[in-house]
Amino acid sequence: MNTYNGTALFMETLIDEGVQYIFGNPGSTELPFMDALVNENRLTYVLCLHESVAVGVGEGYALATGEIGVLSLHAAPGLGNAMGLLYNAKRARTPLLVTAGNQPEGGQFHEIILSEDLVRMAEPLTKWAYEVRRVEELEQAVRRAIKVALTPPAGPVFLSFPGDVVLAPAKGLQNRSVRIDTRFSATPESIRRTAALLAKAKKPVIIAGSEAARSGADEVLARLAEQIGAKVFEENLPSRRGFPLDHSLYAGRLPIVPRPFGERLVGSDVIFLVGTEAFLFSSWQDVRPLPEGAKVIHLDLDPWEIGKNFSVDVSLFGDPRETLEPLLNEVISSQNDDERRRASERRERVENEIINSKQKMIPEANSNDENTAEGMPLSSFRAAIGEAVPKGVAIVDEAFTSTGPRMRQAAAEKAAYYYGRKGGAIGNGLPMALGLKIGMPDRPVVCISGDGSSMYTNQTLWTAAKYGVGAVFVIANNRSYRILKERVLRLDGRTKEFHRFVAMDLDEPRLDFLKLAESMGVSARRATTPDELKNGIGEALASGKPYLLDAIIRPEPF
């Protein structure tokens, strides 16, 4: 029997491209791939019980390693199930190779079950989508897809594999891997213009984005901020932290609504955007988010973002880290003694301002809090997390109303990595943490998920147990979609008048996360006090196994 066919060629191509894991949920159209994996020990197929889980795990793995995350989904229904979190991956510029089996060409023409135009389905959320029509193009299609996904601006790509193509006889590998080196600096002229503006700025502000982190620009960006005495904000919806959270010039994350966003920047005369989308808001307001008259500089490897929604005075097209190194040197040589003195004085003022601001935000835990049956206060929850996580931890934050800037401040000195939700689709927290732990097995990984968010992808727990992936999952359990309650009240309508929330409570019956976790093979315990939460996190990390903590948060009145 000739077993070297399209599926075998697909596996060989992935291995040659350095792929170690496939994250997926198979169906009938993917059976040829599963058959090829029977005696293939160089690839590990991680079974996920829902396609959105596979997307989240693949994204976490890609973020942890900088490599491609490979997904195997089941035809049109599987691709459809994945679309919500695939949207997040697109906004976060995460390199994913999304694949799905399709019916053979004849079956597509006759519209048999599961057949669909998968390319048209995938196109809005991918950089490139294609259906492989001949086995002779399969290898190069995979190599092209991986190259496109990894080349900045990175992002998901999609390949559809019809049944007749993957079962057709194939030759061995004919080509080689291609990677495009984008570690280039912006032009010397644009660097000189930027340095001149930064050297003379009276109130400069830096907005650091997720792409600054991807580039590894944290350290040099911090030195630049110190040199010019600039306050540094984090972009308003990051997938990863773009600046050290414990740095003295870090002023927090910008709001996701235009008006308060703009209020944070009032008075700034030079605004330097580094590796950030410009900007990702949660609602539309017809206001300019940047101060009138301020000079705007934007550094990015994605020319689409530069000048997308507002004019810029200097555009820097290049890799953030490679550009910031010569830019810092140019600023140092450009500053005269008076400008250097003013920058030093400004840095001291900004640092004192940030210290005062952070002191107001630091949450305090009350270990002896009364009425523990209803859970711990939100401030105690945040403080306990900050105390309990170890140095060097990777934190996944998907508990928007339960964490926020106060918890980020509480964990600032501990968190080596901090990941969030770029696109706004909920449910990515649990699987992202799993993927991060697979990609960084020696680093502690703690996910903080809202109770509502976790129910989108709770099947993650089964996968964690099956493969022994020791991520820790903390459920911020306030028994509601609190963010919806907060926002519906702003409408100043019937909800506020009658103080009644429709379809926003997760109660009657209450979700039992302990039984849910244990039914999927994951140890779990409930925490109603800060001490129970801290002890639980310590126990969970020490176990080295997947562990869930149901942290009961006392509902706060509106």
Q: Could you say which of 3.60.21.10, 3.40.50.1980, 3.40.50.1220, 3.40.50.970 is the CATH number of the domain covering 188-360? A: 3.40.50.1220
Looking at residue 404, what is its pLDDT?
Answer: 83
Looking at residue 423, what is its pLDDT?
Answer: 85
Place of tokens 């540094």: 232
Provide CATH code, domain 372-552. Answer: 3.40.50.970
Looking at residue 108, what is its pLDDT?
Answer: 78
Is the pTM here over 0.85, yes or no? Answer: yes
Looking at residue 1, what is its pLDDT?
Answer: 52
- Which DSSP string do the residues of 402-435 spell out, in sequence order? TSHHHHHHHTTTTEEEEE--SS--S--HHHHHHH
Looking at residue 364, what is its pLDDT?
Answer: 60
What is the domain class of 6-166 according to CATH?
A: alpha beta
Are domains 188-360 and 372-552 of this chain identical in fold?
Answer: yes
Looking at residue 361, what is its pLDDT?
Answer: 63
Domain locations in the chain as residue ranges: 6-166, 188-360, 372-552
Residue 550, H or E segment: strand 547-552
Strand order of the sheet with strand 472-477?
415-419, 393-398, 445-450, 472-477, 547-552, 523-527
CA–CA distance, 328 with 341 (Å, rounded to integer): 17
Residue 286, class by beta-carbon neighbours within 10 Å (0-12 exposed, 13-18 middle, 19+ buried)? exposed
Q: Name, in order, each residue with C-beta under 8 angstroms of 276's C-beta and a sequence gap of 6 or more.
A: 207, 208, 209, 210, 211, 212, 235, 242, 300, 305
pLDDT average per 10 residues of sequence, the chain (558 residues): 85 98 96 93 97 98 97 97 97 97 83 89 98 97 98 97 95 95 97 98 97 95 98 92 93 91 95 92 83 96 94 97 98 96 97 85 57 82 95 94 85 91 91 98 97 96 98 96 87 91 90 97 97 97 98 88
Looking at residue 362, what is its pLDDT?
Answer: 62
Looking at residue 546, what is its pLDDT?
Answer: 98
CA–CA distance, 241 with 219 (Å, rounded to integer): 13
Written as six digits, the tokens of 222 are: 């911090």
